[in-house]
Amino acid sequence: MPADDTRDGTSLAAGYFEDIFAGDDDPWSLASSAYEAGKFAHTIAVLDDRRYAAALEIGCAHGVLTHRLAPLCADLLAIDIAEGAIGYARARCEDRPQVRFERLAFPGQTPATGPLDLILMSEVVYYWSDADIAAAGAWLRTRVAPGGRILLVHWTGETDYPQTGDAAVEAMFAALGDAVTVEHAERTEAYRLDLWTQK
């Protein structure tokens, strides 16, 4: 985690993430950590082998989870704010032809896609301001198909990001309002996993 406090009420900008990936091709040990491997395996398991015609991963980093998610999807669009991350993710997923990548600063920039059967946001919502979470929720309400799923996974320890993991998830749930129902909610010692279904 960076030493400077980034909890000033604004979303983290692209430059923050570009700097992180410029200095380290695996800054959060996503490809090497046993903890991350276990979390990713559990994330996929919660989706219970359902197949998705159209899926969106918001904040794909360098594609470790994208690669695991792809076999469940006929079409998977993975987006990230950092061009460096997209480059790593595209290389990692070369053997997954159903995966497409776009560099977008979501939710200020949104993909031209939908209706979606699955949205995955893993370790990303806590980088956003309250206003951006509200904007993301408004966009999701119009893009997720009835019966579609929204899966969030967030670390629950202290952060110096604009949100804590808990605050981020609670704000997103409030932004979606009555558009979703809770399908699954779980807390481990280190992270929470929330799976919602669009009405």
Read off the pLDDT of residues 94-143 as tens digits, 9 standing for 90 and up. Answer: 999 999 999 999 999 999 988 999 999 999 999 999 999 999 999 999 99
Residues 6+ apart with CB under 8 A from 114: 54, 142, 143, 144, 145
Domains along the sequence of the chain with CATH: 34-198 (3.40.50.150)
β-strand partners of 102: 79
Q: What is the pTM of this model?
A: 0.88
Residue 30 structure tokens: 């996503």
Report the alpha-carbon distance of residue 72 to residue 54 in Å, rounded. Answer: 10
* pLDDT, mean of residues 65-93: 95
Task: Check pLDDT > 50 for residue 3.
Answer: no
Tens of pLDDT along 41-69? 999 999 998 999 999 999 999 899 999 99
Q: Report the DSSP beta bridge partners of residue 118.
A: 55, 149
CB 36 within 8 A of CB 141: no
Query: Contact, 103 vs 111, CB < 8 A?
Result: no
The C-alpha atoms of residue 24 and residue 166 are separated, in whole angstroms, by 27
CA distance 128 to 11: 4
